Amino acid sequence: EPEVTQTPSHQVTQMGQEVILRCVPISNHLYFYWYRQILGQKVEFLVSFYNNEISEKSEIFDDQFSVERPDGSNFTLKIRSTKLEDSAMYFCASRGEGTPAIVAGANVLTFGAGSRLTVL
Protein backbone atom coordinates (compact mmCIF):
# COMPACT_ATOMS: atom_id res chain seq x y z
CA GLU A 1 0.00 0.00 0.00
CA PRO A 2 1.36 3.45 -0.91
CA GLU A 3 2.78 5.41 1.99
CA VAL A 4 3.69 8.94 2.85
CA THR A 5 7.22 8.94 4.22
CA GLN A 6 8.69 11.57 6.49
CA THR A 7 12.24 12.33 7.59
CA PRO A 8 13.69 12.75 10.12
CA SER A 9 11.59 10.79 12.56
CA HIS A 10 12.98 12.86 15.42
CA GLN A 11 15.02 16.06 15.42
CA VAL A 12 16.39 17.95 18.37
CA THR A 13 17.46 21.52 17.76
CA GLN A 14 18.43 24.65 19.62
CA MET A 15 16.09 27.61 19.77
CA GLY A 16 16.73 29.98 16.88
CA GLN A 17 18.03 27.31 14.54
CA GLU A 18 16.51 26.53 11.15
CA VAL A 19 14.81 23.17 10.67
CA ILE A 20 13.68 21.45 7.51
CA LEU A 21 11.25 18.57 7.72
CA ARG A 22 10.93 16.42 4.64
CA CYS A 23 8.02 14.46 3.23
CA VAL A 24 7.62 12.23 0.21
CA PRO A 25 3.91 12.14 -0.63
CA ILE A 26 2.22 9.32 -2.50
CA SER A 27 3.42 9.57 -6.06
CA ASN A 28 0.17 10.35 -7.90
CA HIS A 29 -1.20 12.68 -5.23
CA LEU A 30 -1.53 16.37 -5.98
CA TYR A 31 -2.62 17.94 -2.70
CA PHE A 32 -0.20 18.18 0.19
CA TYR A 33 -0.62 19.20 3.79
CA TRP A 34 1.27 19.82 6.98
CA TYR A 35 -0.37 19.36 10.34
CA ARG A 36 1.15 19.47 13.79
CA GLN A 37 0.30 18.00 17.15
CA ILE A 38 1.72 19.53 20.29
CA LEU A 39 2.04 16.91 23.00
CA GLY A 40 -1.33 16.26 24.58
CA GLN A 41 -3.19 18.55 22.23
CA LYS A 42 -5.19 18.11 19.07
CA VAL A 43 -3.93 17.80 15.53
CA GLU A 44 -3.82 21.28 14.00
CA PHE A 45 -3.81 22.28 10.36
CA LEU A 46 -0.82 24.31 9.24
CA VAL A 47 -0.89 24.59 5.47
CA SER A 48 -2.17 23.06 2.26
CA PHE A 49 -0.34 23.10 -1.05
CA TYR A 50 -1.54 22.48 -4.58
CA ASN A 51 -0.19 23.26 -8.01
CA ASN A 52 3.06 24.59 -6.57
CA GLU A 53 1.49 27.14 -4.33
CA ILE A 54 -0.06 27.47 -0.91
CA SER A 55 -3.82 27.07 -1.15
CA GLU A 56 -4.61 27.70 2.51
CA LYS A 57 -2.70 28.36 5.70
CA SER A 58 -3.63 28.72 9.34
CA GLU A 59 -2.75 31.46 11.81
CA ILE A 60 0.01 29.23 13.12
CA PHE A 61 1.74 29.32 9.75
CA ASP A 62 3.43 32.68 10.15
CA ASP A 63 6.47 34.15 8.39
CA GLN A 64 8.76 31.73 10.19
CA PHE A 65 7.25 28.85 8.26
CA SER A 66 7.57 28.02 4.57
CA VAL A 67 6.83 25.07 2.34
CA GLU A 68 8.38 23.97 -0.88
CA ARG A 69 8.18 21.19 -3.42
CA PRO A 70 11.70 21.47 -4.71
CA ASP A 71 11.95 18.52 -7.05
CA GLY A 72 8.54 17.09 -7.83
CA SER A 73 8.74 14.38 -5.21
CA ASN A 74 9.69 15.98 -1.89
CA PHE A 75 7.49 18.35 0.05
CA THR A 76 9.34 20.25 2.74
CA LEU A 77 8.40 22.34 5.74
CA LYS A 78 10.99 24.87 6.87
CA ILE A 79 10.97 26.67 10.18
CA ARG A 80 13.45 29.54 9.92
CA SER A 81 14.11 30.32 13.55
CA THR A 82 12.65 27.73 15.88
CA LYS A 83 10.98 28.62 19.13
CA LEU A 84 10.34 26.44 22.17
CA GLU A 85 6.65 26.34 21.31
CA ASP A 86 7.42 24.80 17.91
CA SER A 87 8.15 21.54 19.70
CA ALA A 88 5.55 19.15 18.33
CA MET A 89 4.93 16.19 16.08
CA TYR A 90 4.64 17.37 12.50
CA PHE A 91 2.56 15.29 10.13
CA CYS A 92 2.65 15.45 6.37
CA ALA A 93 -0.38 14.26 4.41
CA SER A 94 -1.36 13.96 0.79
CA ARG A 95 -4.42 13.13 -1.23
CA GLY A 96 -5.36 12.52 -4.81
CA GLU A 97 -7.57 14.47 -7.14
CA GLY A 98 -11.11 13.75 -8.20
CA THR A 99 -14.38 13.19 -6.45
CA PRO A 100 -14.84 10.30 -4.04
CA ALA A 101 -17.52 8.78 -6.25
CA ILE A 102 -15.08 8.47 -9.12
CA VAL A 103 -11.68 8.05 -7.60
CA ALA A 104 -11.27 5.64 -4.74
CA GLY A 105 -9.51 7.37 -1.91
CA ALA A 106 -10.01 10.86 -3.27
CA ASN A 107 -10.52 13.41 -0.55
CA VAL A 108 -9.01 11.01 1.97
CA LEU A 109 -5.79 12.23 3.46
CA THR A 110 -3.02 9.72 3.92
CA PHE A 111 -0.71 10.71 6.75
CA GLY A 112 2.96 10.06 7.25
CA ALA A 113 4.38 8.67 10.47
CA GLY A 114 5.35 12.14 11.65
CA SER A 115 8.51 14.01 12.53
CA ARG A 116 8.98 14.80 16.18
CA LEU A 117 10.65 18.17 16.65
CA THR A 118 12.13 19.05 20.01
CA VAL A 119 13.35 22.61 20.47
CA LEU A 120 15.65 23.20 23.45
Q: Which residues bind other proteins (CB under 8 A)?
A: 31, 33, 35, 41-45, 48, 56, 91, 93, 99-101, 107-114
- As measured in angstroms, the least distance from the Cβ of 117 to other proteins is 15
Bridge partners of 82? Answer: none
Separation of alpha carbons 34 and 14, rounded Å: 22
Measured from the CB atom, the residue of 40 and 71 that comes closer to other proteins is 40
Nearer to other proteins, 9 or 81 (CB): 9
Surface-to-core class of residue 32, CB atoms within 10 Å of its CB (0-12 exposed, 13-18 middle, 19+ buried)? buried
Which burial class, exposed, middle or buried, applies to 67 when counting CB atoms under 10 A from its CB (0-12, 13-18, 19+)? buried
- Complex with other proteins: residue 38 or 120, whichever CB lies closer: 38
Provide CB contacts within 8 A for 118, sequence distance 6+: 10, 11, 12, 13, 87
Taking the complex as a whole, how short is the minimal distance between the CB of residue 89 and other proteins, in angstroms? 9
Give the residue with the Cβ less far from other proteins, 87 or 115. Answer: 115
Closest distance to other proteins from the beta carbon of 110 (Å): 8
Q: How far is the CB of 72 from other proteins (least distance, A)?
A: 22
